[in-house]
Homo-oligomer: A and B are copies of this chain.
Amino acid sequence: MRERVSLALVHHPTLDRRGAVVATAVTTLDLHDFARLGRTYGLGPVYAATPLDGQRSLVARLLGHWVGGRGGELNPGRREALESLRVVGSLPEAARDLEMRWGEPPVLLGTSAREGPDRLGFRQARALLRDGGQPALLVFGTGWGLAPEAVAACRWVLEPVRGAGGYNHLSVRSAASIVVDRLLGPD
């Protein structure tokens, strides 16, 4: 079941600090962390979505080093993780790639640090992934989170990861790790 769940790290359309819609810069450490997370939990491909050619070239160089090059020779575990990384121009392109791979479109499950109406609880989402049978794409936004247009593309949005109290400013690396463990970790 897990191999029919994928991750997308979206760099556009995302929000900046002031709420404007922007394309964020790729943080290479995010790609490593997401790929290692996906591989550790036995997930499907990990997508990095950015419309910027220069940013896609950066990711391609990173993959050249870690998958085809010297980095992968020195650190085969890292290569094994990054082999699952795909760079795409947009979230819909990631969904289409998965549809081709799996023969049916994935359900898009968005994430947000903000409260909102109709958020899907972690228990429900866990049951959905386990029993639903339909492939799923978990969508994470960089910067200050997914822009409304990206949220609107999602069938559901997960409830925020709440720790204790009202402060809730996890990095996308931390949030994705916790979300994946809550949805797909051991019982």
CB of A71, distance to nearest CB on chain B (Å):
12
- Number of contact residues on A: which range applies? 35 or more
User: Could you tell me if B39 and A167 are in contact, using CB atoms closer than 8 angstroms?
Assistant: yes
Interface residues as binary, A173-184 with B (CB distance below 8 Å gives 1, 0 otherwise): 111111001101
Decide if A163 is an interface residue (CB 8 Å cutoff): yes
* Cα–Cα, bound, A171→B39 (Å): 12
Q: Residues of B contacting A81 with CB < 8 Å?
A: 167, 169
* Cα–Cα, bound, A69→B80 (Å): 41
> Which residue of B41, B74, B75, B169 is within 8 Å of A40 (Cβ)?
B169
Q: Residues of B contacting A181 with CB < 8 Å?
A: 161, 163, 178, 181-182
Decide if A64 is an interface residue (CB 8 Å cutoff): no
Q: A33-B174, A177-B177 are in contact. List 11 more A-B contacts (CB 8 A).
A: A27-B29, A29-B29, A33-B170, A36-B169, A80-B167, A162-B186, A170-B177, A177-B178, A178-B181, A178-B185, A181-B181
Closest 8 CB pairs of A and B: A42-B164, A41-B163, A40-B163, A174-B177, A177-B177, A77-B169, A178-B181, A33-B171
